[in-house]
Amino acid sequence: MKVSVVIPVYNEINTIDEIISRVSAVELAWAGQPIEKEIILVDDASTDGSHERLQAIIPQYEEARVYYHAVNQGKGAALRSGFSHVTGDIVIIQDADLEYDPREYMVLLESILDGRADVVFGSRFLGGPHRVLYFWHSVGNRFLTLLSNMLTNLNLTDMETCYKVFRSEVLQSLNIKSSRFGFEPEFTAKVAKRGFRIYEVPISYSGRSYNEGKKITWRDGIVAIITIFRFRFFN
């Protein structure tokens, strides 16, 4: 058994060392057997020194590989690049900004490992501890999730979560097209349309402020709405 952790990176010089260290330090095991782990990073043409920092630190981690985009294309494009290099049985999407805790990987993996699920969403709204931040972000996330649920007939609480974990076979039927933050609703629409077994588990969330580097804006919300409708009715 092998798990592939895919990490898109764009201008995360302040957190890149720590997130790689945290992911590397996580020990995975199931039924008394260790689970192998690979770390796949994709730098999406960072301009803050993340590119150079990755070149310097990746040789310290035998399980890690990094790939570079020549021009910035967006989170979805970085994930597509990362997915193309996956060799594991299960894929975990991990942001590079320290908002999500890699120590919760086994919570996310359990439903897949015991055969109940093909896809697991880690929900920030199921009662896990979280940093208190923006009211309107919470409202926006819940609205997008509600809209997505109406069109997919799912009952998710957090469609926009970074933590999406799935069997690698799931990727073979999805053909992800979104290049930026539209990845989240596209992925959700497509796994729902194809009838994959979906579970949701509570996770903690250490959100950051815009001063600390948060990138998503209201414009991404508009794109998400368009994407929800697009991939509900079209491939």
Q: Give me the pLDDT at residue 136, please.
A: 61
Mind listing the pLDDT tens digit of every residue in the chain (235 residues)? Answer: 999 999 999 999 999 999 999 999 999 999 999 999 999 999 999 999 999 999 999 999 999 999 999 999 999 999 999 999 999 999 999 999 899 999 999 999 999 999 999 999 999 988 766 655 556 667 777 888 998 899 889 999 999 999 999 999 999 888 888 877 789 999 999 999 999 999 999 999 876 554 554 556 657 667 777 777 776 666 6
Q: Please, is 178 exposed, middle or buried when counting C-beta atoms within 10 Å of its C-beta (0-12, 13-18, 19+)?
A: buried
| Full set of structural domains in the chain with CATH | 2-233 (3.90.550.10)
Please give the pLDDT value at position 205.
85
The SS3 call for residue 209 is: coil
pLDDT, residue 46, reads: 97
> In the chain, how many H helices and how many E strands?
8, 9
Q: What is the pLDDT of residue 20?
A: 97
Nearest CA among 8, 179, 159 for reference residue 96: 8
